[in-house]
Amino acid sequence: MWIISVDLRLVLVEHMNKNSIIMASEIAHQTQGSTQNISRALKEFEVKGLIECLTPAKTTWKICFDRSWKTVMEKMEGKYF
């Protein structure tokens, strides 16, 4: 429920589902969104333990493909993308 409560989180999950490494600036460019808002949302994912920031200065993130991530994707697949 936490992910679907904010549209931006859904957009990020779609990108994370397709890429194991993501950059806030690339997502902002593709979605016409603000890099600041996307970075903030990615930090929320990091707090939840779903992603890890590889280079804080460049806001490059890596998806943590662990049990938590797989559970999230299983619950969302077919319902939201």
pLDDT per 10-residue tile (average), the chain, 81 residues: 77 83 87 89 86 76 67 71 52
Rounded to a whole number, what is the largest CA-CA distance in the chain? 35
CA-to-CA dists, residue 40 to 30, 35, 70, angstroms? 17, 8, 22
CATH code at 19?
1.10.10.10
Number of domains in the chain: 1
Which amino acid type is present at position 1?
M
pTM of the model: 0.73
pLDDT at 13: 85
Instruction: Please report whether residue 13 resides in a domain.
Output: yes
pLDDT at 63: 64
pLDDT at 29: 92
Pairing of strands 21-23, 60-63: antiparallel
Instruction: Please report whether residue 2 resides in a domain.
Output: no
**Residue 58 belongs to domain spanning:** 7-73
